[in-house]
Amino acid sequence: MASSIASPKKLRRVFVWELPVRIYHWLNALAIVALIATGYLIGNPPALLSASEASERFFFGWIKFIHFAAAYIFFFNFIFRIYWSFAGNKYAHWRNFLPISKQFFKDMWAVIRIDILLKKDTEHVAVGHNALAGFFYFLTFLAFILQSITGFALYANMSDWWFADLFSRAGWLFWNEEFAMRNWHHATMWFFIIFAMVHIYLVFYHDYVEGRGEISSMGGGWKFMEEEFFEKKEEKETKAK
Amino acid sequence: MAITPSRRPTYYEELKAKGYSRRDFMKFCAMMGAYLGLEASGIAQVANALETTPRIPVIWLHFQECTCCSESFIRSSHPIVADILLDKISLDYTETLMAASGHRAEAAMHKTMQDYNGEYILCVEGSVPTADDGVYCCIGGRTAEQVLEETAAGAKAIIAWGSCACNGCVQAAKPNPTSATPVHKLVKGKPIVKVPGCPPIGEVMAGVIVHILSFGRLPALDRIGRPKAFYSKRVHDTCYRRPFYDAGLFVESFDDANAKKGYCLYKVGCKGPMTYNACGVTKWNNGTSFPIQSGHGCFGCSEENFWDNGPLYRQMANFPGFGIESNADTIGMVAAGVTAAGIAAHAIATNFRKAKVIDEHIEEGKEAEKEL
Ligand code: SF4
């Protein structure tokens, strides 16, 4: 049993995820689920038994249509998020994702110690993204870019729109081998699957261990921070002065 | 070989001399115009060019290849193609089809190179081995690389026939023991048309030549140097089995009922969705058939390095570095399994290592709950 009989801690409500961030998150999640499901099927079509004529069915055509439609949503949603990383609040800011300072690496190490290696000694408090998560989101952004480029390049030939055609030059990245481009597009899908598994687990982990409303934060935007946390921060600031 | 008459006859004159009627000639022009995707007025332009321009000398080199390109070319559906371009009147040098041999043949080639410096068209069939000083392909005592360098120097343009000349094809597949090298990597500063395929379609080859003759310049090329007229469409988009693909009806194995019904060959490895060629439109052997029509998936033979991109009879490639039979999905599933195991282990460990914090929170929460 816990040793502390301390009175319940007071928590303050912090508005972390603004509405555009939440919309982005869920659109992104939906698009990615749709892309993975349809993408997997495009690579491994099911063996369907049917007595109907081909002209009566458009099953695979729909699968591909959903894939392309989701791809457009995914892409423009991502572009919007890049914009919001300049326009949004400090938790949405691009600095949360790029490991460009010493502090960032220190914070990452702290998260690794506390949350991955489960060390007991210290606590690391992050209100928005913790540094390690931020860095991993940065990696996913790279995967977003790779998937967008390869995907639209593969799709370019099916589209009359100049937009898709912009990507058709990406072929040289893969020695002009469209086969190779397609295989990498497919293989990168697994990065998203594994990312999603770890991401969802860690959200539960944080909520379970820290009790600050990690899971619901992507719904209402709120996280709940202990009063002490604010006090400590004030103390620090006054000391610094 | 009589190769340099004082006034070179035009193509039309040559054809008349061979007994073709005006009607045959116009049919040929119309056919070529159609293959090239010209509008009706373009056909007159083709006819006019063939009537007035003297033939362009052609040197056709053979390096590391199987001669399937030449074979395909001489099966081009219209007899004029063979006559106009393959008869001795037009091909000044080609190992496979010329009458001369040995020193006489080499002399003929050099004469063409001298007399038509800067005018002749150089056709290259086959790749050039560069390993071990090029010993793997020597003609008349010189290596392929030397021959190519010499002949390319005075060429007006170069046509790289077939996948060998365009990307090295099978001999350039890993590990490429002879360092088979495509033409564009060895020759710089000359216009090069790539006509890939193993082999390319005869009509496509004829079309490329006719275009150069008629318009005096290379056809419009795509970003990797293939003529757009023939290589801008995916086989998949011109495939007559496409309705089965869209319906999700696939051949599962070559001996099943679906194969008999002519379903889509995607699951038995058809690479049509990644392949740009005219097979679905122009077809082969006088428009008789093409691989997919005969029940075999497309290999993607006109795509860069198709030999290194996975098994011919499966859709997904082997994943590099993980050995045979392991494609991206097998690796992915293993990785996902390992991740799931890691997550489970971490979740269990969390309950031990973080028990104190968690219990504190629960206690706290219970206290609060009592107050309500
Ligand atoms: S057979 Fe090949 S090219 Fe034809 S529809 Fe199927 S996958 Fe596409």
Atom of ligand 1 nearest to the CA of B270: 2
A205–B328 C-beta distance less than 8 A? no
At residue B1, the pLDDT reads 37
CA distances from A49 to A60, B84, B243 (A): 14, 53, 16
B168 contact partners, CB below 8 Å, separation of at least 6: B127, B176, B180, B181, B182, B305
The whole-angstrom separation of Cα B151 and Cα B123 is 10
A180–B356 C-beta distance less than 8 A? no
Q: Quick check: is B346 in a domain?
A: no
Name the residue at shortest CA distance from atom 7 of ligand 1: B266
Residue B31 carries which side chain, given as an amino acid letter? M
Q: What confidence tens digit (pLDDT) does each residue in A25-35 have? A: 999 999 999 99
B97 band by pLDDT with thresholds 50, 70 and 90: low
Instruction: Kindly state whether A60 is in contact with chain B, defined as any CB-CB distance less than 8 angstroms.
Output: yes
Name the residue at shortest CA distance from atom 5 of ligand 1: B242
Q: What is the mean pLDDT of residues B334-346?
A: 93
Chain A residues whose CB is inside 8 A of the B349 CB are 118
Q: Quick check: is B58 in a domain?
A: yes
Residue A105 carries which side chain, given as an amino acid letter? F
Q: What are phi and psi of B367, to 5 degrees?
A: -55, -50
DSSP-derived 3-state class of residue B62 = strand
Of the listed ranges A17-31, B102-116, B291-305, the one predicted with least confidence:
B102-116
Atom of ligand 1 nearest to the CA of B265: 1
* Number of other CB atoms surrounding residue B19 within 10 Å: 8
> How many Cα atoms are found within 13 Å in the side-chain-facing hemisphere of B261?
19
Element holding B323 (H helix, E strand): none
DSSP labels, chain A: --S--PPPPPEEEEE-S-HHHHHHHHHHHHHHHHHHHHHHHHHS-------S-GGG--HHHHHHHHHHHHHHHHHHHHHHHHHHHHHS-TTTSGGGT---SHHHHHHHHHHIIIIIS--SS-----SS--HHHHHHHHHHHHHHHHHHHHHHHHHGGG--SHHHHGGGGGGGGGTT-HHHHHHHHHHHHHHHHHHHHHHHHHHHHHHHHH-S-HHHHHHH-EEEEEHHHHHHHHHHHHHH-
* Number of other CB atoms surrounding residue A100 within 10 Å: 10
The whole-angstrom separation of Cα A225 and Cα A9 is 10
CATH number of A11-43+58-137+186-226: 1.20.950
The whole-angstrom separation of Cα B83 and Cα B58 is 14
Query: Which one is predicted more confidently, B371 or B98?
Result: B371
Chain A residues whose CB is inside 8 A of the B358 CB are 208-209
B15 band by pLDDT with thresholds 50, 70 and 90: confident
Residue with tokens 């077939």: B162
Helix residue ranges, H only, chain B: 11-17, 22-36, 40-52, 68-74, 79-81, 102-115, 144-153, 162-167, 202-215, 228-231, 242-247, 257-261, 279-282, 328-353, 355-371
Cα dihedral A155, A157, A158, A164 sign:
positive
Question: Ligand 1 mean position to A60 CA, how many Å?
Answer: 12
Tokens of B323: 């050995």
Q: What confidence tens digit (pLDDT) does each residue in B111-163 have? A: 888 888 888 889 999 999 998 988 999 888 889 999 999 999 989 999 999 99
Average pLDDT, chain A: 88
Residues 150-169 of A with CB under 8 A from B: 154, 157-158, 168-169
Of the listed ranges A77-86, B268-277, B319-328, the one predicted with least confidence:
B319-328
Q: How far off is chain B from A118, nearest CA to CA, in Å?
A: 6
Chain A residues whose CB is inside 8 A of the B362 CB are 2
Instruction: Kindly state whether A49 is in contact with chain B, defined as any CB-CB distance less than 8 angstroms.
Output: no
Tell which of B357, B359, B362, B370 to mutate to test the A interface (max A CBs under 10 Å).
B357
Q: What confidence tens digit (pLDDT) does each residue in B184-240 have? A: 999 998 999 999 999 999 888 888 888 887 888 889 998 889 999 899 889 999 999
Q: What are phi and psi of A57, to 5 degrees?
A: -125, 155
Average pLDDT, chain B: 86
At residue B2, the pLDDT reads 42
Instruction: Kindly state whether B27 is in contact with chain A, defined as any CB-CB distance less than 8 angstroms.
Output: no
B234, B237, B241, best to mutate for ligand 1 pocket (most atoms within 8 Å of CB): B241
Atom of ligand 1 nearest to the CA of B250: 6
At residue B321, the pLDDT reads 67
Q: What are phi and psi of B11, to 5 degrees?
A: -60, -40
Distance from the Cα of residue A34 to its chain's centroid: 15
Per-domain residue ranges for chain A?
11-43+58-137+186-226
Q: What are phi and psi of B137, to 5 degrees?
A: -155, 105
A198–B336 C-beta distance less than 8 A? no
Residues 291-310 of B with CB under 8 A from A: 300, 303-306, 308-310
Range of the domain at B54: 11-231
B88 band by pLDDT with thresholds 50, 70 and 90: very low
Residue with tokens 């007994």: B19
DSSP-derived 3-state class of residue B249 = coil
- CATH number of the domain enclosing B22: 3.40.50.700
For chain B, the domain total comes to 1
Terminal Cα distance for chain A, rounded = 41
Cα dihedral A200, A204, A209, A213 sign:
positive
pTM (whole model) above 0.90: no
DSSP-derived 3-state class of residue B353 = helix
Q: What is the mean pLDDT of residues B61-66?
A: 90
Q: Quick check: is B251 in a domain?
A: no
Q: Quick check: is B319 in a domain?
A: no
The whole-angstrom separation of Cα B273 and Cα A37 is 20
Question: Ligand 1 mean position to B263 CA, how many Å?
Answer: 9
Residue with tokens 């919001």: A84
- Residue B268 in contact with ligand 1 by CB distance below 6 A: no
Q: Quick check: is B285 in a domain?
A: no
Chains A and B form CB pairs within 8 A to the count of 155
Q: What confidence tens digit (pLDDT) does each residue in B32-41 have? A: 888 888 888 8
The whole-angstrom separation of Cα B64 and Cα B178 is 10
